[in-house]
Amino acid sequence: MVEDDDPHGFFVPKALRGVKDVIHTSIPIHFHLNQFIDTLPFQRLRDIKQLGTSSYVWPSASHTRFEHCLGVAYLARCLASHLQTNQPSLKITNRDVGHVWDSIFMPKAIKGCEWQHERGSEMMFDYIVKNYKIPLSDKDVRFVKALIAGDPTQCDASEKPFLFDIIANKRNGLDVDKFDYIQRDSHMTGTSFSFEATRIVKSARVLDNQICYNIKDANQIYEICLRRFGLHKNIYNHKTARAIEYMIVDALLLAEPHMKIAERVYDPERFLYLNDYILNEIERSKDPELEASRQLIKRFRHRELYREVVWKAVEFTSKKAIQDYITSERIMEKAQKTVDEEGSEEPFDLTADDIIVDVTTMHYGMKERNPVDFTKFYSKKHPDKPMHAGPGDYSGLRPSIHAEILLRIYTKKPEYFGRVYDAYNAVLVDMSEEFSAGADTVPNTPTLASARTPDASSFETLPRTPGADAGDAGTGAEQKKKRAFGRSNSAMMSKNHFADVDRGYRHESPSASTRRMSTGGVAVAVVGDPSAIAVVTTFQPTADFSQLFEDGTEGAIIDAAPSRLKRGREDELQPPIEGIEVKRRKESAK
């Protein structure tokens, strides 16, 4: 246990060593911190990227959770030290500060695992205390676990409640974890957002058993919350990063029956080696059971990704309606219906599992609420009087709802890009009709036979703009239908014209296009039947295309330009030339 007079205590000026840091310049490491850093669980964080798949979009964002944890530890120490020095009446001890730091590491060690988060944190904490013989009493252990959970009720009532605002602030979301990652992630992605974390730390005072800040820093604190939203919107949830994340999850699911990855999280000894290198473990394996997983990993290594078909920013209040109504099953049902109506004999192997409906909530830190509304401030003239910031105390340029929903539709098979987009829009049409009619139920789907759609009146609508209907096209009945569910819901169910493509559009990644152009592409037609056109691309320039026709039917090369094959636009190919047989031919890139 760390006592106040411990010669190796947290506040001893002389550090055992220092760590260079790109954000905080230099981080001193003292004896108590060193006990935790030099353990296998903490060193494991060197092998886990802080931003996960974001490094596939921003290559420089390859920093790990190891340096983030050190940064959070440093800021926590600064904040606790500042409070102890400037408010001696709080009676903050070395024990308090030391255990505040203990609680930082544990959630980071298992971040990303949705399985009983608190249970996993406690498992790893107990592992360190036991295996590294950290001298902690039962009371101290309960205190650290309570800090991890952010719940003061899990420890003795004598513990100082304001300490829970430092690490995992459930009151307003403002804590040193955010102060570090907002700066660090911004810097490493080249989208720098600078603020003086030490200034915010030195602004802190404990009043009414909670951490308050100087009112002159209210705008800066709001900007920190705004930046958090920006990082989630533009960096963490980037369309490509999300696509790769889905591919990695699918690869792990394919490997799970053979590798039993999920079981490792319950065993601390095995969990220590569960990190980003799990993909390399799969790739190195020669086990036939992992072939499907290896092929999927190879696919995203080659940048042949799941593709975002369409996106839409939606009102936060519409989240449940989207989740209930826009499903992969319903989109698949519409796509299949279109194929059946066309009577096409072409193979159609799209399934509901090949369609991803991604619904992401992005906010300032407190869902739809403004975190500043839950933060108290003081002023220089009234340093001991905590108050909430009111109108005029800081900028009034802020939204009424501090959250929104980002809806994205992905396809795992880019060749059906256009069909998925067309089917999604068909679902929107049905959704609009259901809401405008005030129906209580939504149409049956294979998996949502009894799903219910919230009534349109349950949505919060925006005030109408005078004359907004004047320029709208459509009949009076259509105008009435639009007004029935308000402007915000009308936008939710409207078509995204920026993503508009034809039903036959087939997306091709730039890397795949480059490889194909360098090796050639060939369009082949059956001689004597100009309507029977088969479009073929190949990565083997010397392929014998006569093998395409098992019955020996002659064919002709009618177009070797890769650009003509990019979208599979067979209708634009010139008629075949009679009497020219298909032969070996290497196509030049154009």
Give the closest residue to 104 by CA, choosing from 52, 180, 161: 180
Give the closest residue to 537 by CA, choosing from 561, 554, 572, 510: 561
Could you tell me where the beta strands, DSSP code E, fall in 199-277? Answer: 205-207, 210-214
309's enclosing H/E stretch is strand 307-315
The tokens for 568 are: 């599979």
**Angle, CA of 226, 232 and 233, to the nearest 5°:** 85
Strand 387-388 relative to strand 17-21, pairing:
unpaired
Looking at 260-346, list the stretches that DSSP marks H as alpha helix, in order from N- to C-terminal side.
Answer: 268-271, 278-284, 291-301, 319-325, 328-342
Give the closest residue to 583 by CA, choosing from 538, 542, 552: 542
User: What are the beta bridge partners of residue 407?
Assistant: 312, 359
DSSP 184: H
Phi, psi torsion values for 261, nearest 5 degrees: -65, -40
Looking at 504-556, list the stretches that DSSP marks H as alpha helix, in order from N- to C-terminal side.
Answer: 510-519
558's enclosing H/E stretch is strand 555-559
Quick one: the chain helix, strand, coil %, rounded to 5? 50, 15, 40
Contact 26/16 with Cβ under 8 angstroms?
Answer: no
73's enclosing H/E stretch is helix 65-86
The CA distance from 548 to 522, in Å, is 12
Contact 209/162 with Cβ under 8 angstroms?
Answer: yes
Active site residue 117: yes
The tokens for 540 are: 């083997």
The CA distance from 204 to 78, in Å, is 11
The tokens for 526 are: 């059956």
Q: In Å, how far are 134, 265, 280, 361 from 130, measured between CA atoms?
A: 7, 18, 31, 39
The CA distance from 214 to 381, in Å, is 11
Q: What is the CB neighbour count within 10 angstroms for residue 104?
A: 27
Strand 533-537 relative to strand 521-526, pairing:
antiparallel
Active-site hit among 8, 82, 117, 187: 117
The amino acid sitting at 370 is N
For the annotated catalytic residues, the residue numbers are: 117
